[in-house]
Amino acid sequence: DGNQRGNQGPEGADKGIYGSSCNSGNFLSKYGYGAHQADEHDGTFAENGCMLIRFKMPEDAGYLKTVTLTAPEAVFYTTNAADGAKTSSMTLTLSDADMAADNVVEAYVMTSMQEASVSGELTLTVVSNLGTWSKKFTPNAFTLKTGMRNVITLNDKNWTVPAGDGTEANPYIIRTVEDLTGMTGKLASEKKYFAMVNDIDMASVTSWIKIENGTPIDFNGNNRTITNFKPTSYASGYRGFIGILNGRLANLTISNANVDGTANSGTSPCGIACGYCGTKAIRGDLENVHVQGTVKGNAAGVGGLAGVLGNGTINRCSADVVVTNQTNQRAGGLVGYHNNANVASLCEISDCWTSGSLTAPGHQKNGGIIGEMYGSSTASPIAVMTNCYSTMSLNVSRNAGGIIGALHQNGKSKVERCIAWNTKIESATSKTGWYSSGAVVGYMKNKDTMTDNYRRSDMVFDVRYTDKSNEVPPLFDCENFDSENPFVWTGYNEGSYWGSNYQPYHGKAAGAGETVSDVAKSLGWDETIWDLSGDYPQLIK
């Protein structure tokens, strides 16, 4: 096909320009280069050419937005006219393009009907969601042919790697453990963006200065993993990878973690991802964050993922954890509790799951997903949980719930389509006071909204009332209810042990032999979010 090659160098090196004819195959029809009749052009035949820039990107390049080839001077025609204007660069604009599995990119750019002579050092610049990448190379002088596919092939070496400036378009890049430990020095009065591009082992970090700031941050883990986050001491305050999360933490896995909220005599809320999520003025959002490990604390607010959810949302997250609250209340597999100090604070938890165990001997308000969840005094419920499940075992005292330990604010909370698949809920308490435990919710108001929540049919519900000869109340099905159709107590002893306003809630028993995924399918869980092919739903990352 008349290929011409030059400046190829050794195998794997950057390759220079070469051309191949456009007059064969389906090239013309594919790119729409209409042929011109020779007699309309004084006996000549003219057609556009194209340039194929084939190059390999580093693995951590992200999603591509633009590809630009720049020459030392204006040599590329911008029109088809012989006396037309010229420019020094050609740019292909993309829309967050993902790379092929081998990270090889093929970028096609249409060229003029006029030939261009190119020489000197060229620069290839690639802008991705993780910043700007560039590399320089010097091919032999060449002519950009018309009617030809002109090809430049480059390898993945000698890229200038972006460090970022903390803006949304050019985030700070996190590649190493040193980048993680240096994040606090990059926080400022304005919002800062961070992007993690490698898996990072934090086993060498024993003293942790938490990421904590009054202005928002945005940390995109890009589906990378932090392992061995196990600091033995903290500077102060809330314990976790992030102390106080104002802003967003997304697309991150933290595995083999050990967060000890009792270290240095700590008594503040703690969780693997963050100690506190969202303050009164600034929301905190956890999206597609997954944690695995152990959490221990002495605080009101100990959770596998987050200690306290102050104002914000948790979506598509999971926690496979061992949680222990040694000397206080409000512990949960995902979150310790929702702090409703501000009536406008938001609490939304959706499409999450937990597994493992939770232990809080002698303490109340403990749940497989969240220990305590407040509604709001406003007209609209803003404490909402949907499409979550838990398989955690609970060994606590008072207000144990497979999903939620305790709900507050009559008529201002919603729990919908959640599944308590806990193998065992164990609690020892008295019948006096608001100390009930439930398969789904430990105690709640009778005008909250409960819709289509289910429990494991063979759950071991070992809730013993020590002042009544270790009496164990039975589980029974609870119908849906809301503020317009309040819960009517028809179960164990007509609720006389817990009063008329607060009761346990058990949801409905799943059918014998059903799996969690069977129940989730029947509830219409979104299968673009959940993989329901196995016994246990898995989040699609």
- Dihedral of the alpha carbons of 212, 217, 222, 227, in degrees to the nearest 10: 0
What is the pLDDT confidence band of residue 470, given thresholds at 50, 70 and 90? Answer: confident
Q: Is 403 within 8 Å of 388 (Cβ atoms)?
A: yes
Residue 246 has pLDDT above 50, yes or no: yes
pLDDT in the model for residue 501? 54
- What is the rounded radius of gyration, in angstroms, for the C-alpha atoms of the chain? 30
Q: Where are the beta strands (DSSP E) in 204-334?
A: 207-208, 211-212, 217-227, 233-234, 242-245, 247-260, 274-277, 284-297, 302-303, 306-309, 312-315, 318-325, 331-332
Average pLDDT over residues 357-377: 87
Q: Which of 340, 419, 435, 352 is nearest to 381 (CA)?
A: 340
pLDDT tens by residue, 214-243: 789 999 999 999 999 999 988 778 999 999
What is the pLDDT confidence band of residue 492, given thresholds at 50, 70 and 90? Answer: low
pLDDT tens by residue, 390-418: 999 999 988 899 999 998 766 678 999 99
Higher pLDDT pick, 199 / 433: 199
SS (H, E, C) 143-162: EECCCEEEEEEECCCCCECC
> Amino acid identity of 107?
A
Q: Is 100 within 8 Å of 160 (Cβ atoms)?
A: no
Average pLDDT over residues 375-403: 85
Task: Please give the Cα distance from 405 to 369 (Å, whole number).
Answer: 9
* Residue for token pair 């979506």: 315
Q: Is 438 within 8 Å of 477 (Cβ atoms)?
A: no
Average pLDDT over residues 1-17: 36
pLDDT tens by residue, 501-538: 567 899 999 999 999 999 999 999 999 999 999 999 99
pLDDT in the model for residue 235? 76
Task: Please give the Cα distance from 129 to 124 (Å, whole number).
Answer: 17
Q: Which of 321, 276, 279, 265 is nearest to 301 (CA)?
A: 276
Average pLDDT over residues 131-148: 91
- Helix H or strand E segment including 348: strand 347-350
pLDDT in the model for residue 20? 42
Percent of the chain residues past pLDDT 90, beyond the cut: 58
Task: Please give the Cα distance from 334 to 488 (Å, whole number).
Answer: 30
**CA angle, corner 312, sides to 287 and 129, nearest 5?**
40
Residue 34 has pLDDT above 90, yes or no: no
Task: Please give the Cα distance from 335 to 472 (Å, whole number).
Answer: 28
Residue 143 has pLDDT above 80, yes or no: yes
Residue 381 has pLDDT above 90, yes or no: no
pLDDT tens by residue, 41-85: 555 667 899 999 999 998 888 889 999 999 999 999 999 998 999
* Secondary structure class of 275 (helix, strand, coil): strand
Q: Is 302 within 8 Å of 337 (Cβ atoms)?
A: no
* Residue for token pair 């009517």: 488
Higher pLDDT pick, 60 / 500: 60
Average pLDDT over residues 435-444: 88
pLDDT in the model for residue 33? 35
Average pLDDT over residues 128-133: 88
DSSP letter, residue 19: E
SS (H, E, C) 356-425: EEEEECCCCCEECCEEEEECCCCCCCCEEEECCEECCEEEECCCEECCEEEEECCCCEEEECCEECCCEE
For the chain, the average pLDDT equals 85
**CA angle, corner 451, sides to 306 and 371, nearest 5?**
25
pLDDT in the model for residue 432? 61
Task: Please give the Cα distance from 459 to 370 (Å, whole number).
Answer: 19
Q: Is 70 within 8 Å of 168 (Cβ atoms)?
A: no
What is the pLDDT confidence band of residue 199, given thresholds at 50, 70 and 90? Answer: very high
pLDDT in the model for residue 275? 94
* Residue for token pair 């102390």: 243
pLDDT tens by residue, 15-30: 545 444 333 222 222 2
Q: Which of 107-111, 386-390, 424-428, 485-489 has the lowest mean pLDDT?
A: 485-489
Residues 6+ apart with CB under 8 A from 282: 214, 215, 216, 246, 247, 311
Higher pLDDT pick, 316 / 432: 316
> Which tokens go with 503?
């009761």
> Which tokens go with 388?
């979550």
Q: Say what the pTM is.
A: 0.83
Phi-psi category of residue 39: left, alpha or beta, with phi > 0 → left and psi -120 to 50 → alpha: alpha
| Dihedral sign computed on CA atoms, order 154, 156, 160, 163 | positive
pLDDT tens by residue, 164-182: 999 998 899 999 999 999 9
End-to-end CA distance of the chain: 45
What is the pLDDT confidence band of residue 433, given thresholds at 50, 70 and 90? Answer: low
List b or e across 79-116, with b for residues whose CB sees 16 or more CB atoms inside 10 angstroms: eeeeeeeeeeebebebeeeebeeeeebebebebbbbeb
pLDDT in the model for residue 44? 60
User: Beta strand pairing status for 508-509 and 449-451?
Assistant: unpaired
Task: Please give the Cα distance from 401 to 416 (Å, whole number).
Answer: 15
